């Protein structure tokens, strides 16, 4: 039977699908019975989801405009026309 410490040490490998089937099953059994470990697993997964949420992040319009202006200028200088 795995203890909490061993389970938590494998959290990253578990989330990456990087575990042997036996160990994965033992971890899932432990999580079903251990509220603390379940919270850590669920909130770690949620942490990654929040950072991946593209809707939370916008490229400021002025930053975008400056990028396109310098690229167009560079392109014109090199190629002599767009």
- Tell me how far, at minimum, the Cβ of 27 lies from other proteins, in Å: 14
Q: 25 or 74: whose CB is closer to other proteins?
A: 74
- For residues 4 to 43, the per-residue mask of contacts with other proteins, x marking binding by CB under 8 A and - elsewhere, is ----x--xxx-x-------------------xx--xx-xx
- Binding other proteins by CB under 8 A: which of 17, 22, 61, 63? 63
CA 21 centroid distance within chain = 23
- Alpha carbon 46 to its chain centroid, in Å, reads 9
CA–CA separation, 19 and 11 (whole Å): 10
DSSP 35-60: HHHHHHHHHHHHHHHHHH-GGG----
44 within 8 A of 8, measured Cβ to Cβ:
no
Residues in contact with other proteins by the rule CB under 8 A: 8, 11-13, 15, 35-36, 39-40, 42-44, 46-48, 50-59, 63-64, 66-68, 70-72, 74-75, 78-79, 82
């Amino acid at each position: 039977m795995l203890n909490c410490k061993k389970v938590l040490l494998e959290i990253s490998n578990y989330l990456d699908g990087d575990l042997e089937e036996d160990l994965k099953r033992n971890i899932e059994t432990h999580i079903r019975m251990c509220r603390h470990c379940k919270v850590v697993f669920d909130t770690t997964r949620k942490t990654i989801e929040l950072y991946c949420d593209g809707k939370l992040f916008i490229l400021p319009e002025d930053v975008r405009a400056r990028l396109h202006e310098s690229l167009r200028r560079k392109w014109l200088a090199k190629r002599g026309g767009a």
